[in-house]
Amino acid sequence: MKRDYLEINGFETDIETTGDGGLTSALDGDYQLLILDLMLPETNGFETCRTIRKTGEIPIILVTTRKEDIDKNPRFQSRCR
């Protein structure tokens, strides 16, 4: 997701390109929402989400370009808890 679409609609954004960087920012920052790619380098999106969930309940939108059936199943959300 491009930050331009969010910023043009008045949202402030920060971008991290790795799971480790995103995790550090998420835990140290004061965010109202996270958009998290499942296919992050270093620490993947599921593991990043699990670690964030241990510290709070900030809303997280998970995105991916993966097309496997498991990724379309609503139960995959449990992989983040």
Number of domains in the chain: 1
Give 6-42 pLDDT, tens digit per residue.
899 999 999 999 999 999 999 999 999 999 988 888 8
User: What is this structure's pTM?
Assistant: 0.75
CATH of the domain at 37: 3.40.50.2300
Spell out the residues 6+ positions from residue 66 whose beta carbon is closer than 8 angstroms to its own.
38, 39
Range of the domain at 28: 3-80
pLDDT reported for residue 51: 93
Residue 81 in this model has a pLDDT that exceeds 90: no
Which helix (H) or strand (E) covers residue 61, if one does?
strand 60-63
8: tokens are 């043009």
How wide is the angle at C-alpha 65 spanned by C-alphas 26 and 75, nearest 5°?
75
Mean pLDDT score of the chain, rounded to an integer?
84
Residue 1 in this model has a pLDDT that exceeds 70: no
Three-class secondary structure of residue 34 per DSSP: strand
More confident residue, 56 or 67: 56
